Structure 1
Amino acid sequence: MYSLARFSLLEMTECSAVLRQLGEQSSSLQDAASRAVDYLFRTLGNPDTGARDCVLVRCFKTVSYNRLNPMTQQRVREQLGGIAPFPDLKCFTLMATAGEEAEWNQVERSHRYRAIPMVSADFVKQFPMFSQLLHQFGLSSSFDVAPEGEWLVDLEEKTYNVFYVPDAVGSPYVPVQEGFVLKYGVKSVLCFGGMLPSRDLFVVVLFSRTPVPRDTAALCKSLALSLKTSLLACDETVPLEAGVDAHSSSAPVFGAPEQGAGLRHQSRLAVAEQLLRVYENAVRTQSAGIAQAKQALWERANALERSEQALSEQTRIVNSVLRSMGDGVVVTDAEGQLVVANPAVESILGFSPFDIPLTAWAERYEFFHADTVTPFGQDEWPLARALRGEKIDWLEVYLRASQGMPGRWISINARPIKDEAGVLSGTVVVFHDITWLKRAQDALFESEYRFRSLVEGARDIIFTLSADITITSLNPAFETVTNWSRSQWMGEPLVALLHPDDAGFCQDVLQAILERGAPLTCSMQISTKQGGYVTGEFVGTPQMRQGRVIGVLGIIRDVTERRRIEDALRVSEERLRSIVQSTKDAIVLVNALMKVAFWNKGAEATFGYSAEEIIGQPVTMIIPERYHEELERNVQRVRLFERVQLTSRTLELFGRRKDGGEFPLELSVTSWKGKSDLFFTIIMRDISERRSAEEELDRLHHHNQVVLNSAGEGIYGIDRDGRLTFVNPAAAKMFGWEAEALIGQPFSTLVHRPDFREGASGERLSPIVETIQGGEIREEADSRFWRRDGTSFPVEYVSTPIRERGDIVGAVVVFKDTTDRKRAEEQLQDSLRRLRKLSGRMEGIREEERGRIARELHDELGVGLTCLKIDLSRLGGLLGERLEPRDRAKVDEKIRGMKEQVDSTITSVQRIVAELRPGVLDDLGLVAAIEWQCRDFQRRTGVACHCTVSHEDLRVDPEHATAVFRICQEALTNVTRHAQATEVHVRLEDQGGGLLLQVSDNGRGIPSDRLADARSFGLLGMRERAGLLGGDVQIETKEGSGTTIALQLPR
């Protein structure tokens, strides 16, 4: 057998010779292919173990569609969607197959690869192995044929090639990964082949379970030439030289037409010429190679030197391996003298073999056979037998100490070491300490004696059944659980004990155990003597005797409590899974190799990698290189506590997202030990926002300190107990204390004298205390704080609660010394009082002056105008008697104009007199004056004005009546000037203790900025006039909806 793992040039030559001979012995091309495939399947393997290297070997050849059998043609049409191809279309056809499975040894049972039509490059790509094979051979979907002799040599070099897949697992060129490659352990795929003179391709495909090195793949080019020679002996197709016009044909690469068998002789002559030219080129190549031999020898010398260095390195590695092995290894020379012994030998034997000669080992130990009684003779020692050329495998030896040392059980493997000529050069002996195994066996023997007592004392029901499912034995637990007597159920069918709902199913399970000879489990309910049922979990195992199932051994355990725990555990796992997947933190599980094993959705959102991308990758992918050492150091610290069930360490560093961006994160490493492996749970949290918040907090703290220290207002804080926690410089200065001296002191005794707690007398709590207790912001505009010297000063302050996580932990008080402001306010109020008194006096004088002017205008000017009108009338009469009629008319017209002018002037004087001081106000009172004012307003403006009074005989003193009248007059004047109203309502009402005057319009309203404008003298005048008498003017307005002016005046 030839191993693909170490296929030599000599083995290749021998294999090639056999392939050529197989063609001479074959009756047809398919017979030659079958012989070659069968030979390669049987011959390629491990010569030491006899195991075959190949799982499957197949040979393919291109064949025209019209030469295929009907079944294969049908397969081709199916692949082409039912369309019949051209008769000369070439198809990659399975010629021979050999493999481990029975169906792999028959061409007819192959379906997908029976025949592959070469209709186009795109179609062939559906079969990636063949598509890549053509590419590897240097062939495209079509090429021109040239029959010249030089082309044959080019074709030889071009088409003898190898398609090599070193790692079949996961390769896109090797199909059926799950059901073939992984299932049968295919490691490499090797294809070799070429082109026949008939322009048909042939290829052999080896699916090897042994990894094929690249050197072996290169040697297979020679196998391709030998296989071609074997196939040529039986090829009945037309050669290339048989009448094909190279320059006129543009057919597909596998579409050349075939001729009859009469041209076979010419084809073989062409092949012979082709092979002669190939061999001639080979001879020339070998001749040229001799010239390179000297250079090759020099290179070989260098290679030998490198080999010696590699051997030295390999020796170092071997020594390292020997030192780290748990088994003892001893190497001797051909004389039995010790050459190598690793440290494990001394650990196993209790002494160094270099200190004591091998012949003196009997002084330390006696060697016994497995019965621990029969001693070994010196010629039976494993070392002695290995020196005689024997191979010893797993020989168990008992070493009994002769000097009080403990005995040991040792398993020994020994091999003779021979050189290339087969001459013994030494031995190697491997000691494996199996003392623990023997002790385990002894414990097993002892456990068998305990088995019955365990069965008898078990709390689970243990029983046996015969082949007809009747009970043959029951342990005492049966009586404890069911209260039935064991003797009562011996020989009875088990199903009679079961709940009717379980009887049929459990009967099938028991029958399956008896038929399959395999253990099965199920749940069942067993009846109790009291009439109830016990739910249990049944485990049934077949009882065997001489390879035959004779019954069932069953165990029933009450699983009520366990199921309750399992349900609780399932709920807990679901809750944990929900938490892990819903949290925003990245939760990553890594194994002991620091490879990612679990990746939650929070990790996907944090780093940008999906679980499919990151699982199986090193966790350092998400950590910048500068932090790798720190991460490894912390993981190693956690690893030191792996005996502890749960340990954790937390650190802060930077993470790296998929896009390369870095961000700060907080990383917590937790280790936990599974059944056999150590795992690490890494919880990572993006702390970018927290870092920003901390920086902002520091900035705000600095800013607050600056504000506190530079603020002119006093600021201090207290806790829930009323003790001062901070005081700014301005407050300390106002209090007359140093800020440090106030910290921790009760504010109620130092700066704010009202009691901190409500006393027995029920006095009011301090607003600051109410802030702490109620959580409300309190403002005090008039309070007093106390200085260190015992004096007080007026303040206004605002107390605001301090909250942490929703709880009130204190309050901050901001206050201002209002001494200067109080003094200024008092001065201002005094000035206002004097100004208002002065204004009232001025208003009285103004009204008196208006009345005087009105009277004078009425008495003097009114009377004079009336007299003038009378005189004009007289003058008209006198002149009329003396003038001519024509002149008289002119004079009358002129006098009439003068009289109208006098009447107009009288009317204006009356109006002015009324505005200055309406006589109706003095003569008839306020109600008549208001009603007259409304009628006059309507007459002058044309705006409907409705007047309503509550009492017709409303009596008001002259001062109040004048104020009400003037305010009403000013309100109507504003309506005329600004409101653009169409209707006005005036209401005068006696409210018992005061008067109400209300003037409402439906105009455009007063803009809010004008209400607050200090230059609105009309509105200001109304308020001042009302204020002089202790009244108030309220204005309600909305733009577009009118205005209401209401006067409240006490009587």
Structure 2
Amino acid sequence: MQSYALAYSGNGIPVTYRNPQLKPLTFENGVPQGMVRAIYQDRAGLMWFGARAGIESEPHFYQTGWLAVLGSLVLAVMVYGGIRRRLHKLEATKRALEKEVADRTHQLRESEESVRRLTEHLEQRVLERIAALQDDEERYRVLYDHNPSMLFTVDVEGKVLSVNRSSREELGYAAAELLGRSVLEVFHEEDRGMMQQQLATCLKNPHRSRAWELRKLRKDGSIMWVSESARAIKNREGGWVILLVCTDITLRKQAESAIKESQNRYHVLFEEGPTPLWEIDMSKVKSLLAQWRQAGVTNFRAFFDEHPEALLQCLELVKTLDINQATWRLYGADSKEHLRQNARRILNAELLRMFKEQLVAVIAGRTDGEIETNTQTLAGKNLDVRVHWRIVPGHEHNLSRLFVALIDFTEKKETLDELQASQARFRALSAHLQSSREQERLAIARDLHDELGQTLTSLKMDLSMLERKARSASAKHGCDAVMGDIEAMQKRIAGTIQFVRSLITELRPEVLDTLGLLPALEWQIIEFHKRTGLAYEFHVEAEELRLAKDHTIAIFRIFQESLTNIARHANASKVKATIARRNGTLWVEVADDG
């Protein structure tokens, strides 16, 4: 049985081909089976069923009629199957699309709800943000306007956009007088160029703060020093503006100027002053003393006496900070460095003793002191100096700054020594003169007592014998006139004798040599009372006094002269004399109520 392949030409004429390899065409459920494996179109435009290999065409019209019908049925069945499959696929696609549309619709509804809620939330946040911005703006305005610092906002050309209250009050301007003007106009003329450069630098380096100190001018023309900082920032419109923050530092500048002036005065006083001054640092000495104290040293004076090398160790730790001109000239040096390098040459035992006393005073808590000592110049010349030292206030805890002032009194000391020697010679001369005077008084008193006293006594005795003879003659011859003359002569002789005795007592009281000083003083004030009639008190608060003869005579004469002055000048009614011994010293006090 022959198998045929059925094809259709482009004009619809069926063409058959014989091919023994094709299987017979069978149908199952209306669908052709077996030979039909594909339908395709060849280059000639024929529609093929089955394979094409080895086909020979034999056009038999009577054989192809039913094949055409069969092909049409097959084609219809195939088209119908394809349509069903396509409809089925379209139905599945429709159901999938409907489900996807439903899902998408649900998602869209959920998204719309989310968008609505998000929109409401964003609207609320926007409102809150606007309110917060308004609050921030209000706070910024309050902080800006009421800031104690002076605040300016200027544009890129330096024109004032805003100014706070402090700036207006400090400079004395109203806001309208500053807004729109160049900020350079409120600066000192000499500082405007620098200010302009600083503003330009701020714009070149935005968001970076810069600071400087310049002078501003108040409306009244007075000068104000300010510490100013600036920073370029963006405003709401996105343009650049510069925020200036100023602080009044006029008082600080005045203080700095005063400090500088004080430092200049200090330099002049220290460096060019006539008083030799040392500025030293004893902080290392302080530390060493603390170590020794911790080691158990309590009596540093005895410690330094036993260990003189410790004193030299302390001296080596003293650091000289500065020396003025008067100091290195005093020691005969050519400069400060010359004296620093040869400082050991001015040391001697007296200077070390002074340094020891200074250390002991510092250890005891003293902050200043004075001592006289002896030193020498670099040439070896002796110098007598009075040393004043003082710890600079605020450095008591570490002794890092001390001032030592030297007063050279070498010439004064020589003069004083000469004066003291002269005074000693004068006192010796005075003592000699007083001793000579006392010796002369004693000699005169003895001469008066021995010569004149005896002569007057002899005359009194002779006159008494003459009186007895005259009385006998007067009884016989009546010589009463002679007796009157004799009695008058006796009275004059008695008065002369009493005067001589007083004179002898004045020259040298006998009681002073026989009984001693205290009885002589008491006798003297009693005689003063008899002679002047003034009341007196005499108190002795000392035991028996044993003094040199010269001292005894000197005290008696001073006491005698005091009573004489009271009688002549005080116009007093009472005299009080006190003799006492106090702390090994004899006190003789004569007082009156005149």
Which of the numbers 658, 664, 684 marks the counterpart of 2:248?
A: 684
Report 1:580-659 matches (<5 A): 587-592=149-154, 593-594=159-160, 596-599=163-166, 609=172, 623-624=187-188, 627-638=191-202, 641-644=205-208, 646-651=209-214, 653=215, 655-656=217-218, 658=220
2:364 corresponds to 1:797: no
Tell me by how many angstroms 1:781 deviates: 0.8
From the superposition, tell whether residues 614 and 815 of structure 1 become closer, same or farther in structure 2 (CA, over 3 Å): farther
Tell me by how many angstroms 1:643 deviates: 0.7
**What corresponds to 1:781 in structure 2?**
372
**What corresponds to 1:914 in structure 2?**
505
**What corresponds to 1:739 in structure 2?**
335
What is the CA deviation profile of residues 725-756 of structure 1, one whole-angstrom value per residue up to 9, with x for unaligned ones? 33344533454543242477695x46447899
From the superposition, tell whether residues 765 and 870 of structure 1 become closer, same or farther in structure 2 (CA, over 3 Å): closer
**What corresponds to 1:701 in structure 2?**
267
**C-alpha contact 2:367 2:396 (8 A) present in aligned 1:** no
**What corresponds to 1:925 in structure 2?**
516
**C-alpha contact 1:588 1:683 (8 A) present in aligned 2:** yes
Q: Which runs of 5+ in 2 are unaligned?
A: 1-110, 129-138, 236-240, 284-317
**C-alpha contact 2:576 2:592 (8 A) present in aligned 1:** no
Measure the CA separation in 2 of the matches of 1:773 and 1:648.
Answer: 51
From the superposition, tell whether residues 742 and 924 of structure 1 become closer, same or farther in structure 2 (CA, over 3 Å): same
Report 1:199-348 matches (<5 A): none
Report 1:769-848 matches (<5 A): 776-785=367-376, 787=378, 794-802=384-392, 809-816=400-407, 833=424, 835-848=426-439
From the superposition, tell whether residues 897 and 670 of structure 1 become closer, same or farther in structure 2 (CA, over 3 Å): farther
Tell me by how many angstroms 1:922 deviates: 1.6
Amino acid in the other structure paired with 2:226: L
**C-alpha contact 2:541 2:581 (8 A) present in aligned 1:** yes
Amino acid in the other structure paired with 1:685: I
Which of the numbers 848, 860, 871 marks the counterpart of 2:451?
A: 860
Which of the numbers 474, 478, 484 marks the counterpart of 1:881?
A: 474
Amino acid in the other structure paired with 2:510: G
SS of corresponding position for 2:207: coil
Tell me by how many angstroms 1:831 deviates: 5.2
Question: Highest Rg: 1 or 2?
Answer: 2
**C-alpha contact 1:926 1:965 (8 A) present in aligned 2:** yes
What is the CA deviation profile of residues 425-458 of structure 1, one whole-angstrom value per residue up to 9, with x for unaligned ones? xxxxxxxxxxxxxxxxxxxx99x77988xx9xxx
Identity across the alignment (%)? 26
Which of the numbers 521, 526, 536 marks the counterpart of 1:935?
A: 526
From the superposition, tell whether residues 816 and 955 of structure 1 become closer, same or farther in structure 2 (CA, over 3 Å): closer
Measure the CA separation in 2 of the matches of 1:657 and 1:985.
Answer: 82
**What corresponds to 1:139 in structure 2?**
none
Tell me by how many angstroms 1:973 deviates: 3.6
Amino acid in the other structure paired with 2:321: T
Tell me by how many angstroms 1:917 deviates: 0.8
**C-alpha contact 1:598 1:611 (8 A) present in aligned 2:** no
Which of the numbers 223, 226, 232 marks the counterpart of 1:667?
A: 226
What is the CA deviation profile of residues 682-739 of structure 1, one whole-angstrom value per residue up to 9, with x for unaligned ones? 12233456546645653563465443xxx4x644333346333333445334545432
**C-alpha contact 2:385 2:407 (8 A) present in aligned 1:** yes
Tell me by how many angstroms 1:820 deviates: 5.3
What is the CA deviation profile of residues 361-397 of structure 1, one whole-angstrom value per residue up to 9, with x for unaligned ones? xxxxxxxxxxxxxxxxxxxxxxxxxxxxxxxxxxxxx
From the superposition, tell whether residues 925 and 750 of structure 1 become closer, same or farther in structure 2 (CA, over 3 Å): closer
From the superposition, tell whether residues 800 and 655 of structure 1 become closer, same or farther in structure 2 (CA, over 3 Å): farther
What is the CA deviation profile of residues 189-213 of structure 1, one whole-angstrom value per residue up to 9, with x for unaligned ones? xxxxxxxxxxxxxxxxxxxxxxxxx
What is the CA deviation profile of residues 610-637 of structure 1, one whole-angstrom value per residue up to 9, with x for unaligned ones? 9999887967676555654444444554
SS of corresponding position for 1:726: strand
SS of corresponding position for 1:599: helix
Measure the CA separation in 2 of the matches of 1:929 and 1:756.
Answer: 52
2:551 corresponds to 1:966: no
Measure the CA separation in 2 of the matches of 1:751 and 1:921.
Answer: 58
Larger mean CA deviation between 864-873 and 957-966 belongs to 864-873
SS of corresponding position for 1:845: helix
Which of the numbers 569, 578, 586 marks the counterpart of 1:987?
A: 578
**C-alpha contact 2:173 2:219 (8 A) present in aligned 1:** no
Measure the CA separation in 2 of the matches of 1:624 and 1:990.
Answer: 81
Measure the CA separation in 2 of the matches of 1:591 and 1:805.
Answer: 48
Measure the CA separation in 1 of the matches of 2:556 and 2:202.
Answer: 95
Tell me by how many angstroms 1:851 deviates: 1.5
Tell me by how many angstroms 1:913 deviates: 1.6
**What corresponds to 1:136 in structure 2?**
none
From the superposition, tell whether residues 938 and 690 of structure 1 become closer, same or farther in structure 2 (CA, over 3 Å): farther
Measure the CA separation in 2 of the matches of 1:900 and 1:876.
Answer: 13
The structure that is helix-richer by fraction is 2
Structure of higher RCO (CA pairs closer than 8 Å, 6+ residues apart): 2
Measure the CA separation in 2 of the matches of 1:622 and 1:694.
Answer: 28
**C-alpha contact 1:772 1:810 (8 A) present in aligned 2:** no
Measure the CA separation in 1 of the matches of 2:185 and 2:532.
Answer: 89
Q: How many equivalent pairs are there?
A: 416
Measure the CA separation in 1 of the matches of 2:180 and 2:463.
Answer: 125
SS of corresponding position for 2:249: strand
SS of corresponding position for 2:388: strand
TM-score computed with the length of structure 2 as normaliser: 0.54
**What corresponds to 1:62 in structure 2?**
none
What is the CA deviation profile of residues 249-268 of structure 1, one whole-angstrom value per residue up to 9, with x for unaligned ones? xxxxxxxxxxxxxxxxxxxx
Tell me by how many angstroms 1:931 deviates: 0.7
SS of corresponding position for 1:591: strand
Report 1:130-169 matches (<5 A): none
Measure the CA separation in 1 of the matches of 2:494 and 2:351.
Answer: 83
Report 1:399-418 matches (<5 A): none
